[in-house]
Amino acid sequence: MFDVLMQTYHRLPVSFVYGNGALLTGNDGREYLDFTSGIAVNCLGHNHPELVAAIQEQAAKLIHVSNYYQSDISGLFAGRLALLSGMRRVFFCNSGAEANEGAIKIARKYSFKKYGNGRHKIITLKGSFHGRTVTTLAATGQERFHTNFGPFTEGFTYIPPNDIRALEEALDGSVAGFFVEPVQCESGVNPLSDVYLKRAAELCEEQDVLFMVDEVQTGMGRTGKFFCCSHAGVKPDIATLAKGLAGGIPAGAVLAGEKTCDVLEPGDHGSTFGGNALAAAAGNVVLQKLNSEGFMAEIAALGNHLINRLKELDNEKITQIRGRGLIAACDIKVDAWPVLERLLGSLGPGGRGLLLLSAGQKTLRFLPPYIISREQIDEGIAHLDKALKTTA
């Protein structure tokens, strides 16, 4: 039945029918420990009772109307998001790529209205990933994603990460915005230094270049703070969110600070499904959890436990470990894909498999849900250790 789907994914040979917490059950009845969260989407795990109840209740009332009308629950979602993030205004959409497109449009209009033509470039970083649309591919600083899909939207410049001199040289008067992921996730989970982010924000402020952060994978508390860039003590002019924003219901958002909150006007931008009532109901639950006392501090503590357990392994196939909060990676000496396949096997306690992600040919990526236990982290790391030792 899967042969009618376009072959855009290299899928592992397992199909899931049920989830609970950090566990998934396959159609063969076997359980799998989920260290992927649907690529950082299912941040509250699977079948979270409050999230399920909110979705069911809202679906029985109203799923979607359109943005030509007001919606109390969507307004509540926007207000909570602005309050928790410290940003001024919110635009809702459906995905990270769509959010990033919106951010780019805001930056270009801000610059055009203030400075006129010729100041439209967006600087991004080599190794970055901002989406798979034609424009967000243009923003992505990895050539492997560009092959076969040009020509692209023009006006993007790529510079090396963590290189302030390169940023200083690129800010030549033609730049509207500097767009960065605080952790470059898709190219191997490579965190930018806090010193770099802080100085970059200062340079942008000095030249009235918008400091823009792509928090699609790193935001929503995944690193122990609502925005990952907050670890550096910086506040963006524009931020983008998606992934875990609504705990599994498709949702994305562009958040604008004081400088950019009034750039877009009626008719400038839109999204048919953005901010629909169902996504808002789910998102409100996620935001309530993130805002509860100690919740994000526990994410940071779980992340430290994950990193420490990886570092304690005596496994010669692991060459480097890095991460922040509940996003981590380890580089390995063997190809990642055979390891992912081997982890589906029953090496773990109780015959459970383990779900991990890759982030490059020889990098494993960890994105467990926020509700995972320390015991489940220990179980997963023990399973990984066995799988690596038995993979050629």
Question: 136 and 155 in contact (C-beta within 8 Å)?
Answer: no
Q: How far apart, in whole angstroms, are the C-alpha atoms of residue 25 and residue 34?
A: 10
Cis peptide before 151 (omega within 30 of 0): yes
Residue 335 annotated among the catalytic residues of the structure: no
Q: How far apart, in whole angstroms, are the C-alpha atoms of residue 6 and residue 150?
A: 21
**Residue appearing with tokens 């010669």:** 316
Q: How far apart, in whole angstroms, are the C-alpha atoms of residue 110 and residue 119?
A: 10
Q: Which has the closest alpha carbon to 366: 303, 299, 318, 289?
A: 303
For CA atoms 14, 19, 24, 29, the dihedral sign is negative
Residue 243 annotated among the catalytic residues of the structure: yes
Coil/strand/helix, residue 18: strand
Amino acid at 122: I
Give the active site residue among 109, 243, 289, 362: 243
Question: 240 and 77 in contact (C-beta within 8 Å)?
Answer: no
Which residues, listed in sequence order, are joined to residue 332 by a DSSP beta bridge? 318
Residue 198 annotated among the catalytic residues of the structure: no
Q: How far apart, in whole angstroms, are the C-alpha atoms of residue 83 and residue 153?
A: 34
Give the active site residue among 34, 92, 109, 214: 214
Which parts of the chain fold into alpha helices (H)? 37-40, 49-59, 72-85, 96-115, 134-139, 164-170, 194-207, 277-291, 295-312, 336-343, 374-389
Q: How far apart, in whole angstroms, are the C-alpha atoms of residue 84 and residue 80?
A: 6
Q: Which has the closest alpha carbon to 186: 118, 126, 105?
A: 126
Give the active site residue among 35, 77, 129, 227: 129
Residues designated as active site: 129, 214, 243
